[in-house]
Amino acid sequence: MYNILEAPFMKEMIDTVSNMYAHGWDERNGGNVSLLLTEEQVRDYRDINSVIRTIDIPFDAYALIGKYFLVTGTGKYFKNVKSNPAGNMGLFRIGKDGKSAELLWGYDDGGRFTSELPAHLMSHIARLSVDPDNRVVMHCHPTNLLAMTYIHDLDEKKFTHTLWEFSTECIVVFPDGVNVLPWMLCGTNEIGEATAEKMKTARLVVWAAHGIYGAGKDLDETFGLIETAEKAAEVYMKCAALPKINTIKDTELKELADFFKVTPREGFLNL
């Protein structure tokens, strides 16, 4: 059995959450990440038959029974993950009842998974239904995207179009656009259900006055999605109060999409 701290997925998870904190996206204990793993990835590092303890899940995750997840802990600070991975993250399997997590590693101080776990699991289910290769759900509080929700129309087409318009990379990186939810109480099944529904049509879901959810095939892709949207939001926020005399035209956005062989979300370009 190998040291789990040497596992490639563990090293990448630690590097990613540390980078998220360094970017200022995850103040205090804000933000959470869940990584879906295969049994093949896990069994070289943990005895999959040795369950440390069982933790109830406030959501019926029957669609994910037997799936393995590495998830950040509730109340944990991302800045501490690198120095104490086992105290700030946990590796568990969804139990046979679909309503429990069988802890295989981590949460050493008696802790548990993020309070947003229902939203994560619902989003995994939604993304897997449209992309069987999806492995990551990431939630954080990027400053400029958060600020943008206070001054910009929350209509999804308008919000997406602004991001596309303010950075050449955006339509290439997220041609499926950005979905938006109005303010909702976090940590509830209701916001999880609403987020999951939005995840069926886009990999980025903005929570107004709160942050963003991103999903992807791996940690790099998901981080990059959020990073690209946040850069465009930063440029927008720097320009929002100024007269706009130049822009990327919709015909040029279409040219970009054609060149990079991506399909913009239907109806989001004004052509």
The residues, ordered by sequence, that sit 6+ positions from 87 with a Cβ below 8 Å of its Cβ are 73, 76, 80, 106, 107, 108, 109, 111
SS3 83: coil
Tell me which of 6, 39, 102, 116 is the catalytic residue.
116
Give the pair of three-digit tokens for residue 26.
């995850």
Edge-first strand listing for the sheet containing 204-207? 53-56, 100-106, 89-94, 68-72, 32-37, 136-140, 211-216, 204-207, 178-181
CB atoms near residue 251 (< 10 Å): 11
SS3 105: strand
Give the pair of three-digit tokens for residue 120.
């994560």
SS3 216: strand
Catalytic: 116? Answer: yes
Give the pair of three-digit tokens for residue 16.
């990613």
Residues with catalytic function: 116
